[in-house]
Amino acid sequence: MKPKNNRRILWGVVLASVCAGALACGCAAQTEDEGTLMETYEPKLVIREDGVEIQRTPSENLSASEEGDGVYHKPVRNVPKNTFYLKADDRGCNACHEDLLDTVSTTEYNHPKLTNDIGTETTVQQCITCHTEGQVTIANSFGGIIHGIHSEVEDADCWSCHYASEDGNDMQLWDNVKHQVMHGIHTSDTVEGTFNFNQDRIVSQDQLPNINWQGYENDYLRNEKTESGAPLDQDMLDNWTITVTGMVDNEMTFSLKDLIENAESVTTTMVEACVEIGDGNNLIGQAEVTGIPLSALLEKAGVQPEGGTVMVNSSDGFNGAFDINLMKTHEPLLVYQINGEPIQWQHGYPVQLWLPGGNATTFVKQVSNIEIAPAEVLESYPPFYLIDFCKPVVGFTNLDEGQVLKKGEPFTVEGYAYAFSQPVKAMEFSLDGGETWTRCDTPDTVTDKWVNWALTITPQEEHAYVLRVRCVAANDMVNEDVVEKMFNVKAK
């Protein structure tokens, strides 16, 4: 939590001085008070521990009328709109919570783990991705929970989190509308920069997504072992077996140790992404994994022609499933090493299934049984078990809301894009809220890996801008949510 700012106290003082001035000098321009107001309502600039400067509210050029706002008969603007009228610095979750990920990670309530840090900034939009009906079973509506938590918080009134206007859009979240209502954000119909991409970035096991309630208590126990540094249990691996059952010619039991020693392992780079990822989110990562191709086991057991669904069962009862036809183009691996090291407890030591292009619901931990079932069985699973359920996603990994960039200095904005079973064919950038897009092609990308994009810009004007990014999949689908960051360009 950030300490509360002292604007509340200043507020009274400033109003008093305006009134006094008005009484004394009528309506003439008040240069002295203008100065005071501008200084008092200067947007807050914070230098983070990592040295990055953050100014969440754009600076306004207060003496000049802003281009294009079409207001007639207006006196010289002597009151900052953002910080005085809109109280922008005091609004939105980040006015009080420096980092929402920390907020949910440090609550007394044991919130599902979301702590894999790949550089993205957690926004309230990400909370809503999960806390939405139909996503995960949640007893209370998100607004309901957040209202309750803050009901006793001094200073948290409706306008701390909401924006309402006469447009009939009800109580919108300030964080979702602020870029449209704040003054001083400059637009441009072209985005100039140098674009690069690769598909190589890998992250550590700690940075891979891992939600600790997937297998209920067992996940909590597995996570605890990683957190407490409990040594990996070699006996457990040595005695681990995987059975193949169901519609096969020969039901078989495989020893993991034997497979590791004698079957041909494959090492490849693959993405793991949560079905709940949503745009801009951190619930995605890529690693170099080593495992035994599932097809090697199925070939030995002999899948019968009626077999249509591969059910993947964990020793703790968790179960995932996918269409067996996927195996013609996507080779699932029984992974026992990540980045050349034994798989950690939290990811399902000694063995986890990884399905290229799939989402984490099929990345079953501690796999103990593979059952071949009829095709219809897959229909009884929720739609997110289908490989084409997940849509393109993008995120910024080194640009946070309000970040200050230096005028005239190149800055490389970085992020990821992933479209699950589709290749990513282009990245698009906009500096005018999505009116116009500048397209950068990403030719020859492969599906099982994410796209690490990098756009080097050299801002020449001291303004605030909002950079929006989206990714275009090979089937022309683009990500659904708005992913954008405001940045402030300042002279050195």
* Angle, in degrees to the nearest 10, between helices 31-40 and 7-25: 170
- Contact predicate 489/459, CB 8 Å: yes
Q: Which residues bind ligand HEC (CB under 6 A)?
A: 93, 95-97, 100, 103-104, 107-109, 111-112, 114, 122, 124, 126-131, 136, 138-140, 142-143, 145-147, 149-150, 152-153, 155-156, 158, 160-162, 170-171, 173, 211, 276
**Smallest gap, in angstroms, from Cβ of residue 93 to ligand HEC?**
3
CA angle, residues 253, 306, 363, in degrees to nearest 5: 55
Number of neighbouring beta carbons within 10 Å of residue 250: 8
Choice between 102 and 258, CB closer to ligand HEC: 102
CA 99 to mean position of chain CA atoms: 13
**Smallest gap, in angstroms, from Cβ of residue 90 to ligand HEC?**
7
Number of neighbouring beta carbons within 10 Å of residue 431: 23
**Smallest gap, in angstroms, from Cβ of residue 5 to ligand HEC?**
10
**Smallest gap, in angstroms, from Cβ of residue 263 to ligand HEC?**
35
Choice between 85 and 216, CB closer to ligand HEC: 216
Residues 6 or more apart whose CB falls under 8 angstroms from that of 45 comprise 53, 54, 55, 404
Q: How far apart are CA 446 and CA 454, in angstroms?
A: 18
Choice between 151 and 228, CB closer to ligand HEC: 151
Choice between 170 and 376, CB closer to ligand HEC: 170
Choice between 174 and 345, CB closer to ligand HEC: 174
**Smallest gap, in angstroms, from Cβ of residue 175 to ligand HEC?**
7
**If you compute the radius of gyration of the chain from its CA atoms, what whole number of angstroms results?**
27
**Smallest gap, in angstroms, from Cβ of residue 443 to ligand HEC?**
33
- Contact predicate 454/442, CB 8 Å: no
Separation in Å, CA 414 to CA 51, 52, 403, 463: 18, 15, 13, 21
Written as one letter, the residue type at 479 is N
Choice between 10 and 236, CB closer to ligand HEC: 10
Q: How far apart are CA 452 and CA 210, in angstroms?
A: 21
CA 363 to mean position of chain CA atoms: 19
Choice between 168 and 443, CB closer to ligand HEC: 168
